[in-house]
Structure 1
């Protein structure tokens, strides 16, 4: 268990370099020297990038690197990998910490590199915005794509980031590049999502950068939907349910 979490920390450090540029360690009110010492044994070269904050649970501290959130006892002896939930309010503190980080990371990605389907009445008048990591060859991505008009009508902007799951250099990757390089990327995406192969195009494109961002957000499938409050939905969600979630978020 501990080795698995250590490995997760190390993998996350690659993402945190993109996400948390020179992030300072946040010193909690109490002495956290034992936690810092333990982190030095787990991630000796990057322990200073860890954000350490106190939690409402006495003696338990939150440690965050990128999207990875774990907890450690004040003496550095026990590491807890899981969610901390306030049973009185049903508040998931771990989920909220990750959502806050996602929201911040998302704000740093230029919309110019996304394919955007604006809400009815215009992008700037939208009630909500969702950002979707999509794969042209993913059946559930195509299913979600068909529901974009319903989302737009409900005042939701839909923004696409490319995540061809089969990887760099794959047919799905080159399809994504061709769509993003098309003269009309929106029409090309519409056609591709109903099975019409896009015209082969090459240009300076953001597909590789989007795939790197997918690692930062710990995306491991498609579609992955990020709500405007930073929550991540790992899979297809029907438009009606999405709209309800957005209204309640």
Structure 2
């Protein structure tokens, strides 16, 4: 796992893999108490400076999208190149993957990171989303999607059931093959279609995408996805900025949203 992070920091991170359903990695927090003790008490400003210096040692062009206090002591929470990392305040240890809060029984995220993500997501105009709204909405999820990813297609098949449960699904674009790829141009065609909902559904069913072009938000949404920590698709976010994960079955989705109060 560390190898992938180092590659990402060196500027060679691949975004071509679909997100897979996976259990949160509780092991990510295992080193936290020991590292916190080793790090000692430092000011947030000094910790951030130390972390920046340490990561720039891996890549002089390191440009984080966010650095803040982690949800456990002794670490900074860092968003860079679509990855959430945890770096000890002394700059020595780096942990990849989101830790799991056993007591709260949910993925651990700091309040600052949730607020950062929420502000970014709220900045996406409704007119730039492809929305499948529930008739009686109780919850809304923002989904960074790709038209070719298998789990994206599986999630789209669940949209009618999610809508019946009161969950509105709002799609934004994340062409996982990168800007300039066929995936990217096809997603532009979907976003430029007269009936975008129909075009997206047909594309996810494997039907050919009719070429179209217009002023569109695809590149902007792709960049924003990386800024909030998207590295694969689908990437599902609750209204408060919580990243729920990759593909989640409808019943589990509803339970997760109700637990969040979202």
Q: Distance between the aligned counterparts of 2:108 and 2:166, measured in 1?
A: 29
1:72 aligns with one of 69, 88, 91: 88
Which residue in 2 is equivalent to 1:136? 147
User: Is 1:241 aligned to 2:257, yes or no?
Assistant: no
Instruction: Point out where structure 2 has 5 or more consecutive residues left out of the alignment.
Output: 12-40
* 1:210-236 deviation per Cα after TM superposition (whole angstroms, max 9, x unaligned): 111121122222111112232223422
User: Is 1:186 aligned to 2:197, yes or no?
Assistant: yes
Which residue in 1 is equivalent to 2:76? 62
Which TM-score applies when normalising by structure 2?
0.68
Which residue in 1 is equivalent to 2:95? 81
1:152 aligns with one of 142, 163, 168: 163
Alignment of structure 1 residues 1-249 onto 2, 5 Å: 31=43, 34-35=46-47, 38-39=50-51, 41-42=53-54, 43=56, 53=69, 57=73, 60=74, 62=76, 64=78, 68=84, 70-73=86-89, 76=90, 78-79=92-93, 81=95, 93-94=108-109, 98-121=113-136, 126-249=137-260
| Aligned-CA RMSD value | 3.6
Structure 1 pair 78–245 and aligned structure 2 pair: CA distance change class (3 A):
same
> 8 Å contact 1:85–1:93 — kept in the other structure?
yes
* 1:16-67 deviation per Cα after TM superposition (whole angstroms, max 9, x unaligned): xxxxxxxxxxxxx97456536534634599999975559774xx35354567
Moved more, 130-139 or 92-101: 92-101
Q: Secondary structure at the match of 2:88?
A: strand
> 8 Å contact 2:51–2:87 — kept in the other structure?
no
> 8 Å contact 1:222–1:234 — kept in the other structure?
no
> 8 Å contact 2:48–2:76 — kept in the other structure?
no
Instruction: Point out where structure 1 has 5 or more consecutive residues left out of the alignment.
Output: 12-28
Q: Distance between the aligned counterparts of 2:199 and 2:177, measured in 1?
A: 20
> 8 Å contact 2:174–2:222 — kept in the other structure?
yes
Using CA pairs under 8 Å that are at least 6 residues apart, name the structure with larger relative contact order, 1 or 2: 2
* 1:134-174 deviation per Cα after TM superposition (whole angstroms, max 9, x unaligned): 11112221111111111111111101111122222322222
Structure 1 pair 91–38 and aligned structure 2 pair: CA distance change class (3 A):
same
1:199: how far off? 1.9
